[in-house]
């Protein structure tokens, strides 16, 4: 059976499963729509959290980045993994005890200010829309290749599916859908990794194959270093980024993860604080399966890609003899060949010899084809890529919906609306958010992982300091927290917009402040946030005593910590 038919079957079956779960788990109240009724078992919530957190950037783009960047790509691996640990240990139990299931709700109540709540809503929407653009783009990339439809049509299909189960099921439907999506995406990621590791290194476990030898008895990483230097690239195992930028990007991804609202709300879908801790542990295990495999997948893909384009003899492959994966991906526009010297041979290099333009986001999806694995494995990876993108997109859209219906309307502008009216507004907000997310997916501000990195930077510079100070600095007042959030996110957004949109030609290390790239600037924004918050607090006094008492109580995260909507 051909790849397209198999893809239709597997992707179609997964869509039917997701829609069926949404119908079965249809939310009937705001409590079910926002936090799934607070009754999700920790193991299931761990799977859902892993699927929510491991977006298209993790499944599709992270291994592609490592494949192209080598050592420099490890910042994404370290930052996202470390960030989840930070979230699970330092934030989740305390926020769960506080009982407010959205970040704007926590900030509004902790800092006793509707203005603070409104600013947090704006930040949440800004961060979530930036993040969701990458997810919708990931859906489009998958569909454009495997269903042979334009990228934009693929995004529209993804919009429809997310609209259905996010708007109908709310958090209850999304949670159980994400459990299924985790099973699909992890199976889809690991199966080709097992196959390729066995074929290349003789070891079926990719993590061990990564440190093993390939044909000729050469260690895999030594072979990659040799290929890289021969083709004009930096050594695969050595970085080219300034160390200060490596540090700042890693830190931005770490603290950005800890400030992402769609991940934080997951800890309110379990019955207790203890359940939140257990689900965090399960999520870390489920996440580690993919994250420890990604470097191996990246290395395998890099070696196979170079060998199939340049030929085993390194002289280049005749285009007429090009492997099928190249012609398949050429139709999407994500890979192209420019025969500079007119010899009819393709060649990939870092210097003037280069004739290939290859989008980083295709590496995981194309990997089974490059390795000539069976068609069903290729189709399985397509289903996994869609699952990864849709699972995170749904969580983000729910954050946007909740921020508008609960935090902005119910808790601020329209406090007297009924539960039924609030649920209606939540669904309308989700529907509008889906449309805007689709537009951002069609017109994304960068490749998938890069867009997501910007979202993490924005979260790092706005939410993280306010949350940390709200938990661990009981005297921090609303003036300090508010000022810090505004300065942090304004500075970070302005820096990113300038170098990425206003003057992209200036986006080189010589022009960056202190050598910090736009991907890492969120760390500096976070530092500014802290500095401004402390400075303003010093001249405006402490938070009220009753607020300090509440903060003191949440430092001991015992008890149920029921999620409250009021």
DSSP 415-466: TT--HHHHHHHHHHHHHHHHHHHHHHHHS-SS-HHHHHHHHHHHHHHHHHHH
pLDDT at 165: 63
Q: How does pLDDT run across 116-166, given as a tens digit for each residue?
A: 888 888 777 777 777 777 677 777 777 777 777 777 887 888 777 777 766
Least confident interval from 208-212, 300-304, 380-384, 441-445: 441-445
Percentage above 90 pLDDT, the chain: 13
Q: How does pLDDT run across 382-403, given as a tens digit for each residue?
A: 888 777 777 777 777 777 777 7
Q: What domains lie within the chain, and their CATH numbers?
A: 3-36+44-301+373-554 (1.20.1730.10), 306-363 (no CATH)
Q: How does pLDDT run across 543-557, given as a tens digit for each residue?
A: 999 888 888 887 764
Assign 240 a pLDDT band (cuts: 50, 70, 90): confident
Q: How does pLDDT run across 291-350, given as a tens digit for each residue?
A: 899 999 999 999 999 888 888 777 888 888 888 888 888 877 778 888 888 888 999 988
Measure the CA–CA gap between 495 and 463, rounded to whole angstroms. Answer: 18
Question: CB atoms < 10 A from the CB of 63, how many?
Answer: 31
Contact in structure between 457 and 98 (CB atoms under 8 Å): no
Contact in structure between 151 and 430 (CB atoms under 8 Å): no
> Is 152 exposed, middle or buried, given 0-12, 13-18 or 19+ CB atoms closer than 10 A?
middle
pLDDT at 190: 92
Quick one: tokens of 10?
Answer: 């597997």
> Is 153 exposed, middle or buried, given 0-12, 13-18 or 19+ CB atoms closer than 10 A?
middle
Contact in structure between 36 and 270 (CB atoms under 8 Å): no
Long-range contacts for 183-187 (Cβ within 8 Å, ≥24 apart)? 183/47, 184/14, 184/383, 184/384, 184/387, 185/51, 185/54, 185/59, 185/290, 185/384, 185/385, 185/387, 185/388, 185/391, 186/286, 186/289, 186/290, 186/384, 187/380, 187/384
474 φ, ψ (degrees, to nearest 5):
-65, -20
Measure the CA–CA gap between 497 and 26, rounded to whole angstroms. Answer: 40
Mean pLDDT within 64-76: 85
Quick one: tokens of 192?
Answer: 């080709």
Measure the CA–CA gap between 220 and 182, rounded to whole angstroms. Answer: 30
Assign 453 a pLDDT band (cuts: 50, 70, 90): low
47 φ, ψ (degrees, to nearest 5):
-65, -45
Q: How does pLDDT run across 484-499, given as a tens digit for each residue?
A: 989 998 999 899 888 8
What SS3 state is found at 100?
Answer: strand
Average pLDDT, the chain: 81
Mean pLDDT within 450-459: 70
Side-chain half-sphere exposure of 252, counting CA atoms within 13 A: 30
Helix runs in 99-235, H state only: 103-110, 114-146, 151-201, 206-209, 220-230
pLDDT at 36: 56
């Amino acid at each position: 059976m051909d790849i397209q038919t198999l893809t239709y079957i597997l992707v179609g079956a997964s869509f039917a499963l997701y829609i069926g779960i949404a119908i079965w788990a249809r939310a009937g109240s705001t409590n079910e729509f926002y936090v799934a009724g607070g009754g999700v078992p920790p193991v299931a919530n761990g799977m859902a959290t892993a699927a929510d957190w491991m977006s298209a950037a993790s499944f599709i783009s992270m291994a592609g980045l490592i494949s192209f960047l080598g050592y420099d790509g490890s910042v994404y691996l370290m930052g996202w993994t470390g960030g989840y640990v930070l979230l699970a240990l330092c934030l989740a139990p305390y926020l769960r005890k506080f009982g407010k299931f959205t970040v704007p709700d926590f900030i509004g109540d902790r800092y006793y200010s509707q203005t603070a709540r409104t600013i947090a809503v704006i930040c949440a929407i800004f961060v979530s829309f930036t993040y969701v653009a990458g997810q919708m783009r990931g859906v489009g990339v998958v569909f454009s290749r495997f269903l042979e439809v334009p990228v934009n049509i693929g995004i529209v299909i993804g919009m429809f599916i997310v609209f259905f189960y996010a708007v109908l099921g709310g958090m209850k439907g999304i949670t159980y859908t994400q459990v299924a999506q985790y099973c699909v995406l992890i199976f889809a990621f690991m199966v080709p990794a097992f196959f390729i590791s066995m074929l290349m290194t003789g070891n079926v476990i990719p993590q061990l194959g990564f440190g093993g030898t390939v044909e000729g008895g050469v260690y895999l990483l030594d072979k990659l270093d040799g290929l890289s230097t021969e083709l004009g690239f930096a050594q695969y195992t050595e970085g080219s980024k300034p160390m200060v930028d490596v540090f700042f990007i890693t830190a931005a991804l770490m603290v950005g993860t800890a400030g992402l609202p769609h991940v934080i709300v997951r800890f309110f879908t379990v019955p207790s604080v203890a359940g939140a801790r257990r689900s965090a542990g399960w999520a870390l295990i489920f996440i580690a399966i993919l994250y420890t495999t990604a470097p191996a997948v990246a290395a395998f893909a890099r070696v196979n890609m170079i060998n199939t384009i340049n030929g085993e003899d390194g002289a280049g492959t005749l285009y007429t003899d090009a492997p099928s994966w190249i012609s398949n991906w050429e139709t999407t526009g994500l890979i192209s060949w420019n025969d500079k010297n007119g010899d009819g041979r393709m060649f990939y290099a870092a210097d003037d010899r280069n004739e290939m333009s290859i989008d980083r986001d295709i590496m995981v999806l194309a990997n089974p084809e490059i390795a000539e694995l069976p068609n069903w494995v290729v189709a399985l990876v397509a289903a996994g890529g869609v699952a990864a993108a849709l699972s995170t997109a749904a969580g983000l859209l729910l954050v946007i919906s909740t921020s508008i219906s609960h935090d902005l309307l119910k808790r601020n502008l329209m406090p007297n609306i009924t539960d039924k009216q609030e649920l209606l507004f939540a669904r309308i907000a989700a529907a509008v958010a889906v449309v805007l997310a689709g537009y951002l997916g069609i017109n994304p501000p960068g490749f998938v992982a890069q867009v997501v990195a910007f979202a993490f930077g924005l979260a790092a510079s706005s939410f993280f300091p306010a949350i940390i100070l709200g938990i661990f600095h009981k005297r921090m007042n609303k003036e300090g927290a508010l000022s810090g959030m505004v300065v942090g996110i304004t500075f970070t957004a302005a820096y990113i917009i300038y170098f990425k949109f206003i003057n992209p030609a200036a986006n080189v290390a010589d022009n960056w402040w202190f050598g910090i790239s736009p991907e890492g600037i969120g760390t500096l924004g976070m530092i500014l946030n802290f500095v401004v918050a402390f400075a303003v607090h010093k001249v405006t006094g402490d938070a009220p005593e009753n607020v300090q008492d509440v903060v003191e109580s949440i430092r001991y995260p015992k008890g149920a910590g029921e999620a409250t909507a009021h």
